[in-house]
A and B are shown apart, each in its own frame.
Chain A
Amino acid sequence: MPQRLTRQTLRLLGVLVADPCHEWYGLELMERAGLSSGTIYPLLHRLEHDGWLASTREDVDPSRAGRPRRRLYRLTALGQTAASDALAGRPRAGGPSPDLSAGVIA
């Protein structure tokens, strides 16, 4: 599955790979990767669609917590290998090689 690897995608992947088993809120990823809401949600949506991420709703009762349930994102096994490959600059089988001249993680 060819993934368009922009500089921003790579930043996000860097954050995810740094702590692969952690479940992230969208906001956390936004702040850590330094991306805006307009950038991060399409990215997360695409990564989830391609199977690199899995998302779940958090396990809280909305009426008790006083707010709706937030969504948590986690790297899948596929995502982990794919992301590490992408960050290392290795071309994936069947996919285009990323353009790393744009620079990697901050």
Chain B
Amino acid sequence: MILPMLGLLAILLWVARQAVGPLIGQETRGWLVLWCRRLVRRASRSLPEDQGGSFQEDWLAELAELEERPLSALVYAIGLARAARRISAEMGLARPPHGYPSLARLFDLSAAAAYLLLLAPAILAVAIAVKVDAPGPILARRRRLGLHGRPFEILTFRTHRGIEGDGLPPTRLPRPTRVGFLLTRLSLDQIPSLFNVLRGELALIGPPPQVPDLRGESLAVRPGVICWSTLREWGGADIDESEARRRDCARGACNDLRLMISLFLFTLRGGGPR
């Protein structure tokens, strides 16, 4: 019963494609080209006035060469958004005018909120465990430097006895609590940093936040909970230190997506924090 129906459907589709296909093909091609030109204009608009016009002419000219191959033209035009972002970054413009940072922020915010909701019972349990196990506050606050060197307090579950505010290497090593030891092993102590993400001090993915006394130059990207350097330490990324550092400081959705995919695959393979 199904088979002949599928066959009929296939025949109908084929007929439709033969009849309407060339017509649509032509139309679509035209629209695609117009769309590409629009993308080019949008990309060059994000560059400074005098330069933007020159880039626009250059890129439209190149696009004209690609109009015979609409798919290549599309890939070309889409890539130009990235080109414009990087060029304006090189020109030293303070922030890129379009979307990605706010999109990333939206993503971080929603993901952090979702995680917190999901983990709420676990968070409660851990909080009780920490409180019961050793006297002292549930959360440890440490001073860190975030975006553009702005200081903030990163929140983690308290895992040691007698640690004070600021996270500088203490002279006398505080002893870990029993619960604290478990939390560190399972990496659960980092969970409260999701609150920092909600507050905008941290992102989900980014370079590690800087310790105040040891800082180098201030961060141009929001520091994150997960970064390539961490993944590399866990053995999930086959790159060396300088490459990890470079990727950490690179902004861009592709970079972050790559990290998420690597992290996901790594977790599937049974990897985890060491």
Contact = CB atoms under 8 A, between A and B. Distances in A.
Q: Do A and B come from one complex?
A: yes
Interface of A: 25-27, 36-42, 45-46, 49, 67-71, 99
Contacts of B64: 67-68
A71 B65 CA distance: 12
B2 interface: no
Interface string B44-63: 00000000000101111110
B87 A45 contact: yes
A38 B40 CA distance: 12
B79 A36 contact: yes
Given A37-B76, A37-B79, A68-B57, A42 B62 contact: no
B80 interface: yes
Given A38-B80, A69-B57, A27 B86 contact: no
Contacts, number: 59
A96 B66 CA distance: 38
Given A27-B66, A36-B75, A42-B90, A71 B83 contact: no
A-B interface, 10 closest residue pairs, ranked by CB to CB distance from nearest: A38-B82, A37-B79, A38-B79, A42-B86, A41-B83, A67-B64, A68-B61, A70-B61, A71-B58, A36-B79
A67 B87 contact: no
B191 interface: no
A45 B62 contact: no
A27 B60 CA distance: 12
Given A27-B65, A27-B66, A36-B79, A42 B87 contact: yes
B87 A41 contact: yes
Given A68-B57, A69-B57, A38 B62 contact: no
B221 to A, nearest CB: 17
Contacts of A26: 58, 62
B86 A38 contact: yes
A12 to B, nearest CB: 14
Given A37-B75, A67-B61, A68-B57, 13 more contacts: A25-B65, A27-B66, A36-B82, A37-B77, A37-B80, A37-B82, A38-B81, A38-B82, A40-B83, A41-B55, A68-B58, A68-B64, A70-B61
Nearest to A99: B242
A45 B55 CA distance: 10
A42 B86 CA distance: 6
Given A27-B65, A38-B86, A45-B90, A70 B75 contact: no
Interface string B90-115: 10000000000000000000000000
Contacts of A38: 79-83, 86
Contacts of B55: 41
Nearest to A69: B61
Contacts of B87: 41-42, 45
B55 to A, nearest CB: 8
Interface string B8-34: 000000000000000000000000000
